Amino acid sequence: MRPITLSALLLVGASLTAGDTAKNLPKFEGGDLQKYWMDACARCHGANGNGRDNNGAQLPDNGFDFTDSRKANKKKDSDWIKITLDGKDKMPSFKDKMTQADVEKMMPILRKFSAK
Ligand code: HEC
């Protein structure tokens, strides 16, 4: 557990600017996908999926507002799974970080952001 705790501290300490956000993305090693969202996705998409940091400021590489249900409802899980695995523009590929099965299990977490 020790190295994970250390890298988590380093992440909190580092302030992320555009271009840095895709660096040092952790590999999903099993366990809590909600936690993995915080470790690997929230730096760009925000803890709440709205692309904003805790102070409400727009994150540099946010890309998509998962809390916008009108937009989110137009998206298919199959598209989101593909984009997460393959990447798209500034969205990094997670193919070497997560299995397809884990990405599929991530979908309910993404959907929850727009569920009111
Ligand atoms: C380095 C920043 C960054 C990280 C880290 C990141 N994303 Fe993204 N993501 C983006 C950007 C930017 C886009 C928009 C891509 C585009 O359409 O040009 C995006 C788009 C997406 C989309 C497609 C949304 C849509 O319908 O247009 C999904 C799904 C997604 N991300 C899921 C995730 C998940 C799950 C993680 C963590 C495992 C993650 N992202 C981590 C930047 C990031």
pLDDT digits (tens, 9 = 90+) for 71-81: 999 999 999 99
Domain residues of the chain, as ranges? 28-112
Q: What is the pLDDT of residues 40-54, one digit of tens each?
A: 999 999 999 999 999
Question: What average pLDDT does range 72-92 have in this prediction?
Answer: 97
Residue 98, pLDDT > 90, answer: yes
Instruction: Establish whether residue 28 lines the binding site of ligand 1, counting it when its CB lies within 6 angstroms of any ligand atom.
Output: no
Cβ of 114 less than 6 Å from ligand 1: no
Percentage of residues of the chain with pLDDT beyond 70: 83
From the alpha carbon of 21, which atom of ligand 1 is closest?
1
Q: What integer is the mean pLDDT of 51-80?
A: 95
How far apart are the CA of 92 and the centre of ligand 1, in A? Answer: 7
Q: Residue type at 114?
A: S
pLDDT exceeds 60 at position 108: yes
44 Cβ contact partners less than 8 Å away, ≥ 6 residues apart: 21, 51, 59, 60, 61, 62, 63, 90, 91
Task: Look up residue 43 and give its amino acid.
Answer: R
Read off the pTM: 0.88
Structure-token pair, residue 1: 């557990």
Tell me which fold the domain 28-112 belongs to: Cytochrome Bc1 Complex; Chain D, domain 2 (1.10.760)
Q: Is 88 in the pocket of ligand 1 (CB under 6 A)?
A: yes
Give the mutation target among 83, 96, 109 for probing the ligand 1 site: most ligand atoms within 8 A of CB.
83
